[in-house]
A = this chain, B = another copy of it.
Amino acid sequence: MNSELKAEVDRLAPVGEAIARLLSPHAEVVLHDPATDRVVAIWNPLSRREVGEPSLLGELDGLTETGRDVYGPYPKSLPDGRRLSSVSAVLRDADGKAGLVLCVNVDRTAFEEAGRILAAFAAPVVQQPRVLFERDWTETLNELVGDFVRDRGVPVDRLSRRDRLELIGRLEAAGVLSQRRSVPTVARALKISRSAFYQLLGDARKEATNHADPA
């Protein structure tokens, strides 16, 4: 770490510590150096990261978007399943170049739990045991693929790349892909190889975020 950067980090340390204390023990504060993608300071490390480690939680994702220096809050989660709400701030130096990125990650579990308790207390009472999930996800898969193919009037193995991206987007939106072991089945349903599927999925996701977030 060069001395200029170090001075800057030292200058910001009280801010990081203050925020961490304010929200303690439910939040961690991390200072990143985007140039090296390393953690340069961290307070109350919920994520167990240490100074010098690479930035693992992806706080820096999407920071190349233009025109904004504050991001979030957006959802993340810890390896143990705790869910976080995170915000990031880009700290620019005098000539406007990104110098450091400050991230605050709040552990939502306590708040969710408390909220649930209160909600339950305040709830409209009774309520039935909440029925099953949906139906088997394979049915959703069949239906989505079937509809799509029917709509395009083309058998599934003659779909264009663009169509496949679209269809995969729908499958993902429907949550099919977050079902365990669904990928091989889905790839088979689309009559493409597993690897081709992942390629398309990658592109589909890229496209989705571009469309949804044309900042």
Contacting residues, chain B, for A209 (C-beta < 8 A): 128-129
A127 to chain B, nearest CB (A): 6
Most chain B CB within a 10 A radius of its CB, from A119, A185, A212: A119
CA distance A188 to B108 in the complex (A): 13
CA distance A75 to B132 in the complex (A): 14
Q: Are B144 and A130 in contact (CB under 8 A)?
A: yes
Contacting residues, chain B, for A126 (C-beta < 8 A): 72-74
Q: Are A85 and B130 in contact (CB under 8 A)?
A: no
Q: Are A112 and B122 in contact (CB under 8 A)?
A: yes
Q: Are A140 and B130 in contact (CB under 8 A)?
A: yes
Contact with B along A171-215 (1 / 0, CB 8 A): 001111011100011111100000000000000000011001100
Known: A81-B188, A118-B118. A129 touches B178 (CB 8 A): no
Known: A73-B126, A122-B108, A213-B128. A133 touches B178 (CB 8 A): yes
Name 24 A/B residue pairs within 8 A (Cβ), A-sorted: A72-B125, A79-B184, A80-B188, A81-B187, A82-B188, A83-B138, A85-B122, A111-B119, A111-B121, A112-B118, A115-B115, A115-B121, A120-B146, A128-B213, A129-B144, A129-B209, A129-B212, A130-B143, A132-B173, A132-B175, A133-B174, A134-B175, A178-B180, A179-B180
- Using a CB–CB distance below 8 Å, which chain A residues touch chain B? 72-75, 77, 79-83, 85, 106, 108-109, 111-112, 114-116, 118-134, 137-138, 140, 142-144, 146-147, 150, 170, 173-176, 178-180, 184-189, 208-209, 212-213
